[in-house]
Chains A and B, each alone.
Chain A
Amino acid sequence: MDFSRRDTLGLALGAAALTVLPFRVNAAAEDRIAEFTGGAEMGEGGLTLTAPEIAENGNTVPIEVSAPGAAAIMVLAMGNPTPGVAQFNFGPLAAAQAASTRIRLAGTQDVVAIAKMADGSFVKASSTVKVTIGGCGG
């Protein structure tokens, strides 16, 4: 669509009405991914990352990862000061290659999960979590 100056201003004010913290990205995250995958291509599918759309509080955000048949799943918080969150390595007695936990997110960002499948291939899933400022005094 064509935007006049008035339109752009209006849109910007509308966007400001969303009280979310600015989107964060961390360059070190790419290094972590390369380290885990050895530079291999990552496919999609077979990996579910469940995270809330809006985190009630960034200090404790419940997430779940699930990838049937995976050997390991790595989780990164792409906008945290240090992106590493956890790596779940499944043993022979894991009934499902799935786990739930609670994580800290410094601000609105993408949470990324990468699964290393039994055949050595990699798949990736990503979820944007909005982290909000609440109440008085945050």
Chain B
Amino acid sequence: MKVRAMTAIAALLAAPLAAVAGPDSDELVVNGEINMVTQTEAPAHLDGALSELYSGWRFRSDETQALQMDDFDNPAMVFVDQAQEAWDTADGTEGKSCASCHGDAADSMAGVRAVYPKWNEAAGEVRTLEAQVNDCRENRMGAKAWKYDGGDMASMTALISVQSRGLPVNVAIDGPAQATWEMGKEIYYTRYGQLELSCANCHEDNYGNMIRADHLSQGHINGFPTYRLKNAKLNTSHARFKGCVRDTRAETFNPGSPEFVALELYVASRGNGLSVEGPSVRN
């Protein structure tokens, strides 16, 4: 081949390759006041599987990152507003609203998102935020449970997440929660589907690389529920898990299933130390 032609081919091939890089080094400050930790040392339980933690925000384009930096640029916040209305509105046979028991969300829900999913002694199981919301709705408000990954639920978990923004994710993995955590860890490293892919294959072995034109992140859920540009709405972590497993061409699990509850606890623990960003903006 002639040298000039080879240079041309090299230039064409180099163009997409140049985009393959690790996370960028931008800093996330929301509303000019909430300093988000988007890079931190990996928690001990990872045992070196990740050398350092990076929030999914660090893998997105500059334009996408900008959408999360101001609560009036962030399209998710209009759904937080809607959830605030729902918080104050009575629903169900008992004539209660969330506010009836929990008062001002800013006070009662501070720090809650950061420690969920967590063990619920009375229920004898690990509870996710969604499961807890529905427990309150059915058993204390006499209201119908919300669809686990539906719009109402996603908006409410977004409202609850806002009250923990900037706080480090800190889910417990020991004590009564340990068995669930171990189950989640096993699912994380299991290959599923025709494509035989595990979560780890992409998010541990290949973060920073491109999957077609997507920049792979470490798969943390500190930003959930997240507003995805792709479907222009809030997405819950179980909805994302369901999609990922489906994309390996496997029979996927259902939102709220024991498998996904366990997986959520494990995946959350992989991000222990990163700031709660929910609701974040991702692609």
Contact = CB atoms under 8 A, between A and B. Distances in A.
Does chain A touch chain B in the assembled complex, meaning CB atoms less than 8 Å apart?
yes
Interface of A: 1-4, 6-7, 10-11, 13-15, 17-20, 52, 54-57, 59-62, 132-137
Contacts of A20: 213
A57 B230 contact: yes
Interface in B222-275: 228-232, 243-244, 246-248
Contacts of B44: none
A134 to B, nearest CB: 4
Q: Which of A55, A56, A133, A137 has the most CB of B within 10 A?
A: A56
Contact of B67 (A4, A14, A54, A62): A62
Interface in B1-41: 1-2, 4-6, 8-10, 12-13, 15-16, 19
Given A7-B1, A60-B232, A135-B212, 11 more contacts: A3-B5, A4-B5, A6-B1, A14-B8, A19-B16, A19-B212, A56-B61, A57-B64, A132-B212, A135-B211, A136-B195
Nearest to B12: A14
Interface string B28-69: 000000000000000000000000000000001111101100
B198 interface: no
B283 interface: yes
Contacts, number: 90
B12 A134 contact: no
Nearest to B8: A11
Interface size bracket, B side? 35 or more
B213 A10 contact: no
A20 to B, nearest CB: 7
Nearest to B2: A7
Contacts of A133: 212-213
B214 interface: yes
Contacts of B213: 19-20, 54, 132-134
Nearest to B195: A136
A124 B6 CA distance: 37
Interface-central residue, B5, B19, B61, B228, by most chain A CB under 10 Å: B5
B60 A18 contact: no
A61 B248 CA distance: 28
Given A19-B16, A136-B247, A137-B247, A7 B5 contact: yes
A18 B212 CA distance: 9
B194 to A, nearest CB: 12
Contacts of A135: 211-212, 214, 247
A15 B63 CA distance: 26
A57 B60 CA distance: 11
B229 A17 contact: no
A6 B214 CA distance: 31
A11 B12 contact: yes
